[in-house]
Structure 1
């Protein structure tokens, strides 16, 4: 029985390691504030400690845009209605105030001035009015409700601080953020945020974020660092995952070869990639810039006539598309030659086999008569000798 203790502990540890992590969602704002939503049963105190370990605090909001961002995060991790802890609490010394949007509750971050003491009236939506009291501390969370049954999709709700909720939301403060980075030829993105969270699309990224970009040639690591006037991605002086052909499909931002950018009139109708293999975008002085970060290569002129000739990127020659007829004829000729070679080889092998078989049969049939003739000759010689001996004997007798 004593030996069963360590075995049980190892089994529990193995189960804990194999258990999938609870869902998490992360979003950041340009000003530097980030939110994370976590689906994990916890009391108010446990949720606050979990945010503290990530160097954050229970979430608070001061405007409708922040509230909408938080609601979108909670909807990502929650499969249905439920209450999530936020930093909304009423201390023992405070009383319920039905005239205020937060009903006498306050954000925990308002003590040090980080969170606002007052919020807009639009944020004063409660699922149920809190109990009037001045002698007990109470906590409140943000409840997501089914709009079809209640007519409301969210609202604050008072709850005992010791009770567990469906999850919680954290907030992290930073001085600024790096812009969203989306290389056109990237195969995958992994943002490792400074508060121990990963995300594939956090929007803006706070300083200290490490971005791993999977490219066709390998992995590129970038970091968000401060610079004069703001924050920027550092790690390489070359374009990240440049398009191999230097062109983008209009409206999608994806890389495209020049051959796929030819329109019905024969002109090219793709956007220039921000950075090609040589680190410079393709140039077209006669085209206007587009939202994709470059100029459109060519568009049909008035009356359907093709536009000016395309200027290829510096240091790079634009491949010419071969005529369809030449391509098809060359392919047909190549396939015909290949078939002719196969047929010739097969005929040669067949002839060699036939000659070999005929040679074997010829050797076998020629060898048997020769052996028979030798035996007959030997027998005839013996008989002749015997016949010659008999007359000589007879003569002697006589």
Structure 2
């Protein structure tokens, strides 16, 4: 059945993301270890070595992460069309939770940084959730956690990713080049024409997508968003919506350009691209780190935004929408388990680090941002896990 096929694909995605999250944890830890070892100078030198006019770190953050955003865009499109988010009742809960989970951290950040305008650009850092890291933690609990909660977390994180993409596009563009934007617009138009005429071969999309990335690299809009634009034009094809009168038949996944590309990218992103990003960007030197650094407005705003703001915003919006009868809560899940998942959404890691690198260019603010993201994410990891592992006298009564 179509729904079962879509759910199966969704579950495979969640499983690969969870496994990739565990690899990400290890790679981030290695980055921290190397940055605080005798190899620290070599680590920094290699990352800033120029290749083709860009540093290796730049290639990772602007090049490899464009592939990450391409996969994120494909996942969002698939889930919206034929997956767990293909109808309003299915989108309502994760969408409302994601909105709450982005508003509260931003408000907390601004409240703490009100008197330091130079740090205001970091307001979006604590609004993000790292889907791979969060699912990796949740996967450690195995069958103790209802599958509906894993679906909820994955859907919420996908909505969160969509919000982060919009924030990056709107708030972190600078020094716009009209000429480069014109080339990017032309490339986007060509991709749209490919989609309109039902081009199902992937090569034309990838070729024009590469040109789009190059144009956006010089446009002032972050180059990684080229991946999202490309993803939105990749057709779901015959396996998805039954183009040409085929109805809602899912058919053979091999006939869908979107499924083929997503399948080809999933393991590379989960087990290479995101871990490499984590290793390259989590390497914060702890030399000279003091409590005062974590109590500075920028650091404190990010830490409390991730750890307090995420859980507060998500739970407030979920409880309110449930009482108003707007949403259906995850099946077989207790309020304690939903709260535990809300805390895990404070694991910002990859997306938060990425936004932090867009927000600041000076070494001091970047170092404080990285330290704060790691601290807030670790707090959310351990406290969320503790809440989910809290002993139960009996099986708690599900909330619905």
Same fold, TM exceeding 0.5? no
- Higher relative contact order (CA closer than 8 Å, sequence separation 6+): 2
Which protein has the larger Cα radius of gyration, Structure 1 or Structure 2? 1
> TM-score, normalization: structure 2?
0.20
What's the TM-score once normalised by structure 1's chain length? 0.20
Higher percent of residues as helix: 2
Greater strand fraction, Structure 1 or Structure 2: 1
